[in-house]
Amino acid sequence: MVQVSQKQAKVTLSERKRGSGAKFVYGTLRDEILDLRLRPGSPIDEVQLAERFGMSRTPIREALVRLAGDGLVETLPNRSTMVANIDALGLPAFYDAITLMYRVTTRLAAQHHQPDDLERIRLLQDDYANAATSRKALDMISVNRDFHAAIAEAGRNPYFTTLTLRLLDEGRRILRLYYQSFDDRLPQEYIEEHEAIIAAIAARDVALCDDLARAHADQIVHQIQQLFSRDQRQNIAL
Amino acid sequence: MVQVSQKQAKVTLSERKRGSGAKFVYGTLRDEILDLRLRPGSPIDEVQLAERFGMSRTPIREALVRLAGDGLVETLPNRSTMVANIDALGLPAFYDAITLMYRVTTRLAAQHHQPDDLERIRLLQDDYANAATSRKALDMISVNRDFHAAIAEAGRNPYFTTLTLRLLDEGRRILRLYYQSFDDRLPQEYIEEHEAIIAAIAARDVALCDDLARAHADQIVHQIQQLFSRDQRQNIAL
DNA sequence: TGTATTTTTTTAGTCGACAGAAAACTTGCG
DNA sequence: CGCAAGTTTTCTGTCGACTAAAAAAATACA
């Protein structure tokens, strides 16, 4: 009897459309994982999530399966699933991949972009500048992702777009880690680099896009590398 | 024409391990989709699959969710899910992607390979040669995939490996389409090209790897392009 | 006290059932 | 006949319950 009344209360609380359950859970958990609100390595309990979202385990399960497909969650057979760890040893591979994807997507954007692509990209760049001037580092991280995602879209190659998105998300996690533990300032340089990239895409200058994208990627890689070396020093100092 | 959908191999699983259900269904369906035993665009009925595999819909569902993540299956909300189509308009993007991945994975293999990597690759090349001399085109297709997958593995970059695998699988579908409707011979050239690639990797000659991989990719792209132009001519002739 | 073995607890994998959304079919009206 | 409204059918999305695998706890034994 108690169970019935509780359940009804929860159902009225969350009036959902059929078929949206798993998608909603997927999106929510994905955001939380990428924002590090769910810490890497922390265990995920299906029953707990089911209670939290006010639904049965089935849609929760589907969301977890999809997250596992994205590599955001690791599932141990018959035992718990946990938030994927950030693999420090895999960082060089990450650097290689994001650098190549920046280059190739920017090149393709120069070749295949259409007018409204550029408009979208410029709007995002405005958002980025705003976030930068108001010193909102976390916003900058997220807008930066959208900026490069838009460039990838303009390149019109789904294979590259997918991989780029995945890398950007992975990078978002790493950068969160960074700006959480250290200061909240990002170099203004990025804004200028972005501007230059936009201009090169608009001019359809493939070679210049390549150069700029490579330099931009190098910047970010360098930034992350600094993070890790700084981290080390601090540990030693303690 | 072989119409198999009614008489798919029924699976006896009186002794199934717990937790293997979804994985087994995933693997089986994946193979059938890549081999075109399940035709692109054909609908997938969960209940039917549940009967065929002798299990409930739950593990079937999980397998389908994973296949959707791989892009091998398309799900319409609240309505049927179907085998993903081969998108002819997306072929140029495919060419770009597979060419770049061939190049970058082969380069990385030259840099990062270890002794047993080369051994594995050479064994697969033997398999490939055997399949070629005995004129087994379908075997060649599948071994060719494994060959390049092994090279990607030797490059030790999970991001590139994942994308390469996906592209190789996509290519497997396209080639099946080809060798199903036309002749069963593949140019011997491929064997020699493979040999040259192996040698270049062993010599850790990055620049040569790049050239060879690019040429190899061009070959395959050219082959597929021929397929589609031939297809067109036939349609017009009829 | 430390280790091997049994028992308990936790929690993932599976099942059968039902409800709701979309398609397929039927009916009513011009 | 042709089409709009209503009805039935089909099949997915979700649920609660059950089962079994693995971890944690308890016990036995040296």
Q: Which of B:86-105 have CB within 8 Å of A?
A: 90, 93-94, 96-97, 100, 104
- Length of chain B counted residue by residue: 238
Identify whether the C-beta of residue B108 lies closer than 8 Å to the C-beta of residue B164. no
Q: Which residue would you say has higher pLDDT here, A6 or B59?
A: B59
- DSSP structure class, residue B10: P
Share of chain A above pLDDT 90, in %: 62
Task: Give the ipTM of the model, two decimals please.
Answer: 0.85
Place A11 in a pLDDT band, splitting at 50, 70 and 90.
Answer: very low
Could you tell me the distance in Å between the CA of residue B227 and the C1' of nucleotide D12? 38
A33 interfaces chain B, CB cutoff of 8 Å: no
Instruction: Supply the pLDDT for residue A102.
Output: 97
Is A43 buried (19+), middle (13-18) or exposed (0-12) by CB count in 10 A? exposed
Q: Which of A:130-149 have CB within 8 Å of B?
A: none
Among A104-108, B12-16, B86-90, B153-157, the least confident range: B12-16
Identify whether the C-beta of residue B145 lies closer than 8 Å to the C-beta of residue B130. no
Mean pLDDT (whole number) for A5-28: 63
Place A5 in a pLDDT band, splitting at 50, 70 and 90.
Answer: very low
**By C-alpha distance, which of B194, B182, B195 is closest to B223?**
B182
Instruction: Supply the pLDDT for residue B71.
Output: 94
Residue A7 in this model has a pLDDT that exceeds 60: no
Residue A112 in this model has a pLDDT that exceeds 90: yes
Strand partners, B44: B81
Instruction: Supply the pLDDT for residue A134.
Output: 80
A124 Cβ neighbours under 8 A, 6+ residues apart: A143, A146, A147, A150
Instruction: Supply the pLDDT for residue B96.
Output: 96
- Cα(A101)–Cα(A164) distance, rounded to whole angstroms? 6
* Cα angle A57-A63-A65, degrees, rounded to a multiple of 5: 100
**By C-alpha distance, which of B189, B195, B185, B212 is closest to B131?**
B185
- Cα(A54)–Cα(B195) distance, rounded to whole angstroms? 59
What are the structure tokens assigned to A237, written together?
């100092």
* Mean pLDDT over each residue of chain A, to the nearest integer: 86
List of domains in chain B: 17-83 (1.10.10.10), 88-237 (1.20.120.530)
Cβ pair B93:A157 closer than 8 A: yes
Quickly tell me which residue has 């390049």 as its tokens.
B148
Cβ of residue B47 lies below 7 Å from strand C:
no
Could you tell me the distance in Å between the CA of residue A8 and the C1' of nucleotide D7? 31
**By C-alpha distance, which of B127, B162, B158 is closest to B142?**
B127
Instruction: Supply the pLDDT for residue B54.
Output: 92
pLDDT digits (tens, 9 = 90+) for B62-111: 999 999 999 999 999 888 899 999 988 899 999 999 999 999 999 999 99
Cβ pair B65:A70 closer than 8 A: no
Residues 27-46 of chain A in contact with strand C via CB under 7 angstroms: 44-46
- Cα(B124)–Cα(B180) distance, rounded to whole angstroms? 23
Residue A125 in this model has a pLDDT that exceeds 60: yes
- DSSP structure class, residue A74: E
Residue A124 in this model has a pLDDT that exceeds 50: yes
A126 interfaces chain B, CB cutoff of 8 Å: no
pLDDT digits (tens, 9 = 90+) for B174-196: 888 776 654 555 667 888 999 99
Distance of CA A119 to the CA centre of its chain: 22
Residues 25-44 of chain B in contact with strand D via CB under 7 angstroms: 44
Residue B10 in this model has a pLDDT that exceeds 50: no
List, as one string, the DSSP characters of A66-119: HHHHTTSEEE-TTS-EEEPP--GGGHHHHHHHHHHHHHHHHHHHHHH--HHHHH
pLDDT digits (tens, 9 = 90+) for A58-108: 999 999 999 999 999 999 988 889 999 988 889 999 999 999 999 999 999
pLDDT digits (tens, 9 = 90+) for B20-29: 889 999 999 9
A73 interfaces chain B, CB cutoff of 8 Å: no
A115 interfaces chain B, CB cutoff of 8 Å: no
Cβ pair A97:B167 closer than 8 A: no
Instruction: Supply the pLDDT for residue A88.
Output: 84
Radius of gyration of chain B (CA): 19
A34 Cβ neighbours under 8 A, 6+ residues apart: A72, A169, A172, A173, A176
**Alpha helix (H) residue ranges in B75-205:** 91-112, 115-133, 137-155, 158-181, 189-202
Share of chain B above pLDDT 70, in %: 86
B125 Cβ neighbours under 8 A, 6+ residues apart: B147, B191, B194, B195, B198
Q: How distant, in Å, are the alpha carbons of A152, B11, B54, B63 from that of B49?
A: 38, 11, 8, 11
Strand partners, B82: B43, B74
Q: How distant, in Å, are the alpha carbons of A94, B7, B46, B60 from that of B63?
A: 29, 21, 10, 5
A108 interfaces chain B, CB cutoff of 8 Å: yes
What are the structure tokens assigned to A65, written together?
């399966």
Could you tell me the distance in Å between the CA of residue A23 and the C1' of nucleotide D14? 13
Nearest CA in chain B to A22: B65
Among A87-96, A97-106, B123-132, B217-226, the least confident range: B217-226
Mean pLDDT (whole number) for A13-42: 85
Mean pLDDT (whole number) for B13-39: 84
DSSP SS3 for A139: helix
Identify whether the C-beta of residue A185 lies closer than 8 Å to the C-beta of residue A140. no
- Cα(B58)–Cα(B96) distance, rounded to whole angstroms? 38
pLDDT digits (tens, 9 = 90+) for A168-221: 999 988 888 776 654 555 667 888 999 999 999 999 999 999 999 999 999 888
Quickly tell me which residue has 């006010």 as its tokens.
A54
Shortest distance, CA B107 to any CA of chain A (angstroms): 12
Write b or e for each residue in A15-24: b if 16 or more Cβ atoms lie within 10 A of its Cβ, otherwise e. Answer: eeeeeebbeb
- Cα(A56)–Cα(A50) distance, rounded to whole angstroms? 5
Nearest CA in chain A to B18: A78
Identify whether the C-beta of residue B141 lies closer than 8 Å to the C-beta of residue B184. no
Identify whether the C-beta of residue A142 lies closer than 8 Å to the C-beta of residue A175. no
